[in-house]
């Protein structure tokens, strides 16, 4: 094995440190802007920013915890996170106290989101493990989340967990992580664009009717209410937490959670297009951190697949309204961008080949 010491290695280490400083500084700016803009729009429109501030704090706390845990225990920390997500799903099925919304919106989506993040964490741990038996066991844990989602009746969770597992297995053959992460961002953009097209009535009526059969007509009507709020005040929005009182579709239902069940539409309706840009920036920052992070490509791409699946779930549901989901997203991103204090298994593609295709010098 070639020695890793020397001027070249020192230069690589300095470059990695610079990239991490940039990505961390970007994260601080983006999350700070999300919190600050929610306060501005709340003051201007008499809104309630507590939910947004709690979500920002949850993501930041999860990310910091993941960075620490991933550095100390690159296998144990994501494994523990995956088991915690499964345990949370089983012990608190709806992930929220109080009355549960079963009709007409169906499952809230938090179960699917938590299980998807758990599958991603288990697959990240598998790629970091050096023993084949441990690797196999962790992938079986990820496969177990697919079965658990099916047992709980979450079709969305079953599909997204399976997608994360398959993407993780394929990630070992990817050499250009930047292109792969860009493709994942494109998937999230397509799902979000479809949601907006339905809300604005830009899709053919027959296609909308078919989707309403899966999404429920009430959810589609909530999306349309959010679209109307965006058109009425595209800069500041209606104010954080005010969608429920302004939506005609939400008012007749006493157990309504007062949300449009689409994170991008809720952000735009309550905080304007600036708030939507900040939400997209937060997702983009996570993918950027994975791209520039020190972990091997399979770990980064697995986490990116799980976060993309979460973005798709959040685009058609209210998953991000649950603190556990926000914490889990930050935790997974932190785990996948941490620099382990021990060496990664040498069988993984070297991080410096992610965009050049140059073989690592073992």
Residue ranges covered by each domain of the chain? 17-353
Which sign, positive or negative, has the C-alpha torsion 298, 304, 308, 314? positive
Check residue 96 and give its pLDDT.
46
Check residue 353 and give its pLDDT.
43
- Tokens, residue 21: 């400083």
Q: 193-218: per-residue pLDDT in tens?
A: 999 999 988 877 677 677 777 777 88
Check residue 342 and give its pLDDT.
74
Check residue 105 and give its pLDDT.
34
Residues sharing a CB contact under 8 Å with residue 298, sequence separation 6 or more, in sequence order: 127, 168, 171, 172, 174, 348, 349
Which sign, positive or negative, has the C-alpha torsion 259, 108, 124, 305? negative
Q: Number of helices and strands (H, E) in the chain?
A: 13, 0
Check residue 107 and give its pLDDT.
47
Nearest 5 degrees, angle CA 303-CA 306-CA 311? 125
Check residue 220 and give its pLDDT.
87
Contacts 24+ apart (CB under 8 A), 323-326: 323/54, 323/55, 323/58, 324/88, 324/95, 324/110, 324/114, 325/95, 325/110, 325/113, 325/114, 325/117, 326/54, 326/55, 326/58, 326/59, 326/62
Check residue 200 and give its pLDDT.
87
Query: Which stretches of the chain score pLDDT less than 70?
Result: 1-18, 93-108, 205, 208, 251-256, 343-362
Residue that has been written with the tokens 């470059």 in this structure: 15
């Amino acid at each position: 094995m070639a020695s890793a010491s020397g001027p070249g290695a020192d230069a690589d280490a300095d470059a990695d440190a610079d990239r991490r400083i940039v990505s961390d500084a970007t994260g601080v700016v983006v999350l700070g802007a999300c919190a600050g803009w929610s306060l501005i729009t709340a003051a201007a429109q008499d809104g309630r920013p507590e939910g947004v501030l709690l979500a920002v704090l949850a993501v930041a706390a999860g990310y910091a915890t993941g960075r620490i845990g991933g550095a100390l225990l690159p296998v144990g920390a994501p494994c523990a996170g995956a088991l915690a997500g499964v345990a949370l799903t089983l012990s608190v099925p709806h992930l929220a106290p109080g009355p549960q919304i079963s009709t007409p919106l169906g499952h809230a989506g938090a179960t699917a989101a938590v299980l998807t993040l758990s599958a991603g964490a288990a697959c990240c741990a598998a790629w970091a493990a050096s023993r084949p038996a441990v690797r196999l066991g962790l992938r079986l844990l990820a496969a177990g989340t697919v079965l658990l989602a099916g047992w709980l009746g979450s079709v969305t969770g079953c599909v997204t967990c399976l997608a994360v597992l398959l993407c993780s297995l394929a990630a070992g053959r990817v050499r250009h992580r930047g292109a792969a992460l860009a493709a994942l961002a494109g998937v999230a953009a397509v799902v979000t664009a479809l949601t907006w097209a339905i809300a604005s009535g830009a899709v053919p009526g027959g296609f909308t009717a078919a989707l309403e059969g899966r999404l429920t007509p009430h959810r589609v009507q909530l999306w349309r209410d959010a679209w109307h709020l965006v058109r009425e005040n595209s800069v500041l929005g209606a104010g954080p937490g005010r969608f429920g009182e302004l939506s005609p579709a939400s008012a007749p239902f006493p157990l309504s959670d007062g949300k449009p069940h689409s994170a991008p539409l809720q952000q735009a309706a309550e905080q304007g297009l600036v708030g939507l840009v900040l939400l997209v920036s937060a997702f983009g920052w996570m993918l950027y951190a994975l791209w520039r992070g020190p972990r091997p490509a399979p770990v980064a791409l697995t986490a990116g697949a799980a976060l993309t699946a979460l973005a798709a779930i959040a685009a058609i549901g209210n998953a991000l309204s649950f603190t556990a989901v926000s914490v889990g997203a930050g935790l997974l991103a932190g785990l996948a961008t941490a620099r382990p204090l021990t060496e990664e298994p040498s069988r993984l593609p070297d991080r410096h080949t992610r965009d050049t295709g140059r073989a690592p010098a073992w």
